[in-house]
Amino acid sequence: MQSSPAFGFTVVGLVIVFGPLIAERLRLPGLLGLLMFGAVIGPNMLDVLPRFAGLQAVGSIGILYLIFLAGLQLDLEAFARYRVISGVFGLLTAFIPMACGTGVALLLGIDPLPAVLIGSFWASFTLIAYPTVAKFGLTKTRPVAAIVGASAITDGVSLVVLAFVVGAETGDASGVRLVFDIALGFAVLGVYCFLIVPRIARWFFTGLGQERTLRYMLVFIALTSAAVVAELVGVEPLIGAFFVGVGLNRLVPNASPLMAVTDFFGNALFIPTFLISVGLLFDPEVMFVWSTLRLAIGFVVALIVAKAIAAWITGRIFGLQRAEVGLLFSMSVAQAAATLAATVIGYDIGLYGSDVVNAVMVVVAVSLIVTSIGTNRFAREVPPPVEERRRAGETILVPVLDGTDGLADVLRLGRDLADPAGGIVQPLVPVTSSSPSDILDARAKQAAVDQVLRKLGGDAETVLRIDRSVSTGLHQAAIETDASLLLLGWPGPGDLRSRMVGATYGEIVAATSVPVAIAALHPGADEARVVLYSVGRELAPGNVPTMALALELATTLSGGRDEALIIGPVAPSELEAAGLTTPPAAGHTAGPRDLEAWVAEATRPGDLIVVPIHETSIGQAAIRVHDSGRSVLAVSQNPEISAASVVSPMNLPVGRSLAT
């Protein structure tokens, strides 16, 4: 019975459910409960699972899944912002522990070559505690961004040292050939993870992969295939998992249902199973054998002291708080898969005996206990990330007031705005009547919108919103979804179609506290040159927020296009003098201040003109620009509008807006 897969998964499931609960009742981290109960059911204690190969198989995927999620959920903007801290900490936490570990190994009587390899064990670390910091909402903070980036650096350093040592032991005294092979392997792996996989995923999401089940399977295949490619080119599979997670980062936004499914499977099955499988390796008897114990004590001291020194130096250099330094230490001290893999390689080629392997197992056990307890303690004390102005592309709400004609162009524009921010496009169908026939029609529209969104690669579920009026419904929906931008497709002059559903666009804009963009698009707007219209009055203090939003949207849209952003008639230097940041490659075209005259002189048909507006609808001049063959994105943001100060459109005469 014990060899039955059903029995094995039953035991593992019970440990996953009750292990963390029991540990938390004992005031221990839940992660530690998985490790402890893994040891209890393992072959060295109760031997409940003597021949359950499935546990090791799922566990080996679990460690890859853990690192993959770290890359997939990584806030790339925060990572770029803290890249210097990440690089410095990565080098310090690699070379200081490696030097200390090598020195301790030499003091313990180990020969120089294996001593260097043992020292390299402590250079790397495994992001075991990443789910813990994610639970505390700290993934955008300085220490976590630094730790995630540093993990790739430390794995690379450890891998290079391993190559030198193995090369010296097996005949290639310099190990240069192996280092060259590793560099080539990194290049091949980078091309696969950052270029090939994202292109395949985008093609699949917009074509065959309309079902979320298929999309999840492609994400899972990307993970496993990256590990396979990494092994083929001589790189640690964990690095392949991290790289492909970063490669898919933009395609699987954190707020998307696909991310929810991916995260669910990882935290419900794969990652806990990995921790249980590590627990199986613990042998209590080993800790009481002096030949092992003396090595283990030395290794543990070297690891903990060196990691603490690296974190302390980093904190001193960058002025980190005590809790942030503690988090750097507690997360970087964890040793698991990479350490065990290198240990086995050294043992297989005869560099040391089983006493070193057993000592490393003790170090792994101690490090996981330290990282589990330390991360839970320091994560509670680390200040949450500083609230900054939200990026417009984080959550884009797209109301569908009419049919689906032209909707694909609007959703495609929303996708272009959301992708760089790792955001999501959320369509919404508003309904002002609860009659069965109206609800049936609305659900049919909802299904049609879902189909359009799926073909564009979107993953959100279209929301059906019933409210007393369209404008109040959209305002409430924007709050509930925490929308960063309300993107409206322009129905044409007169707003006749929007009035049929209960509101003019002016009423919708006036009733919301969310920044608004009204898109009057022609086919091909997603590939058009982007032009930002700016004049002196836009730099007045009350108008700067709208100008800043227009500049942000124009900069984002131009980032993925063949031609650079054009700004005019006001020069980019004048925008920068007002505190705004313009793209370095942005061009400038001077000319008349009048919108129509400047557009006619400085742009060409097919361009996308981004225009800041301070009314509640597109002006007549912008409409004439649209009629001339240019697409128009009218941007409005009134910082004084808030949920408490909105005038209800129910108080307005039918067909009237706040601007009329």
In a domain, 652, yes or no: no
Domain count, the chain: 3
Same domain? 130 vs 271? yes
Please tell me whether residue 326 adopts helix, strand or coil conformation. helix
The separation between CA 46 and the C-alpha centre of its own chain, rounded to angstroms, equals: 41
In a domain, 308, yes or no: yes
pLDDT at 539: 82
515 neighbors 636 (Cβ within 8 angstroms)? yes
pLDDT at 498: 43
Q: How confident is the model at residue 507 (pLDDT cuts 50, 70, 90)?
A: confident
Q: How confident is the model at residue 170 (pLDDT cuts 50, 70, 90)?
A: low
Mean pLDDT of the 573-592 span: 88
* Residues linked to residue 427 through DSSP beta bridges, in sequence order: 398
* Residues linked to residue 487 through DSSP beta bridges, in sequence order: 517
Please give the single-letter amino acid code of residue 581.
Answer: T
pLDDT at 96: 95
Mean pLDDT of the 129-139 span: 83
pLDDT at 452: 87
Mean pLDDT of the 168-175 span: 58
Q: Between residues 553 and 538, which one has the greater pLDDT?
A: 553
In a domain, 654, yes or no: no
- Here the CATH number for the domain that contains residue 25 is 1.20.1530.20
302 neighbors 104 (Cβ within 8 angstroms)? yes
DSSP E strands, 581-645:
587-588, 608-612, 631-636
Mean pLDDT is lowest, of 293-307, 411-425, 608-622, for 608-622
DSSP one-letter code for 578: T
Same domain? 369 vs 452? no
Share of the chain above pLDDT 70, in %: 90
pLDDT at 642 over 50: no
State the Cα–Cα distance between residues 292 and 269, nearest whole angstrom.
33
pLDDT at 277: 82
- Here the CATH number for the domain that contains residue 559 is 3.40.50
Query: Looking at 457, 483, 517, which one is the last position of a domain?
Result: 517
Distances (CA, A) of 238 to 70, 102, 116, 159, 223: 11, 24, 22, 11, 10
Query: Looking at 318, 346, 381, which one is the last position of a domain?
Result: 381
In a domain, 113, yes or no: yes
Same domain? 103 vs 132? yes
pLDDT at 54 over 50: yes
> Cβ–Cβ contacts within 10 Å for residue 523, how many?
12
State the Cα–Cα distance between residues 344 and 339, nearest whole angstrom.
9
284 neighbors 45 (Cβ within 8 angstroms)? yes
Same domain? 373 vs 416? no
- Considering only CA atoms, which of 546, 526, 534, 550 is closest in space to residue 631? 526
pLDDT at 387: 55
pLDDT at 477 over 90: no
In a domain, 387, yes or no: no
Same domain? 124 vs 220? yes
pLDDT digits (tens, 9 = 90+) for 484-497: 899 988 776 654 44
pLDDT at 287 over 70: no
pLDDT at 388 over 60: no
Same domain? 401 vs 429? yes
569 neighbors 598 (Cβ within 8 angstroms)? yes
Mean pLDDT is lowest, of 76-90, 192-206, 521-535, for 76-90
Query: Looking at 447, 482, 517, which one is the last position of a domain?
Result: 517
Q: How confident is the model at residue 218 (pLDDT cuts 50, 70, 90)?
A: very high
pLDDT at 329 over 60: yes
pLDDT at 650 over 60: no
- Here the CATH number for the domain that contains residue 498 is 3.40.50.620
Distances (CA, A) of 421 to 231, 416, 544: 32, 10, 22
In a domain, 532, yes or no: yes
pLDDT at 211: 80
DSSP secondary structure of 65-82: HHHHHHHHS--HHHHHHT
pLDDT at 313 over 90: yes
Q: Please work out, in degrees rounded to the nearest 5, the angle formed at the alpha carbon of residue 591 by the alpha carbons of 590 and 596.
A: 125
- Considering only CA atoms, which of 296, 303, 284 is closest in space to residue 370? 303
Same domain? 568 vs 508? no
| Mean pLDDT computed over every residue of the chain | 82
pLDDT digits (tens, 9 = 90+) for 57-115: 888 888 888 888 878 887 777 777 888 998 999 999 999 999 999 999 999 989 898 89
Q: Which domain holds residue 197?
A: 5-381
Same domain? 16 vs 70? yes
- Considering only CA atoms, which of 284, 326, 327, 329 is closest in space to residue 303? 329
Q: What is the CA radius of gyration of the chain?
A: 29
- Considering only CA atoms, which of 513, 485, 491, 514 is closest in space to residue 425? 485
> Cβ–Cβ contacts within 10 Å for residue 494, how many?
9
The separation between CA 296 and the C-alpha centre of its own chain, rounded to angstroms, equals: 37
In a domain, 329, yes or no: yes
Same domain? 401 vs 361? no
Share of the chain above pLDDT 90, in %: 22
Q: How confident is the model at residue 645 (pLDDT cuts 50, 70, 90)?
A: very low
Sheet holding 587-588, edge to edge: 463-466, 424-431, 395-399, 485-489, 516-520, 631-636, 608-612, 530-534, 566-569, 587-588
Q: Between residues 96 and 404, which one has the greater pLDDT?
A: 96
User: Exposed e or buried b for every residue in 461-481, given b needs 16+ CB within 10 A?
Assistant: ebbebebebbbbbbbebbeeb
Same domain? 318 vs 423? no
State the Cα–Cα distance between residues 315 and 327, nearest whole angstrom.
11
In a domain, 73, yes or no: yes
pLDDT at 174: 52
Q: Which of 31-40, 501-510, 645-654 has the highest mean pLDDT?
A: 31-40
State the Cα–Cα distance between residues 652 and 656, nearest whole angstrom.
6
Mean pLDDT is lowest, of 1-10, 229-238, 473-482, 603-612, for 1-10
Same domain? 128 vs 232? yes
394 neighbors 423 (Cβ within 8 angstroms)? yes
pLDDT at 659: 37
Mean pLDDT of the 606-635 span: 86
Same domain? 621 vs 565? yes
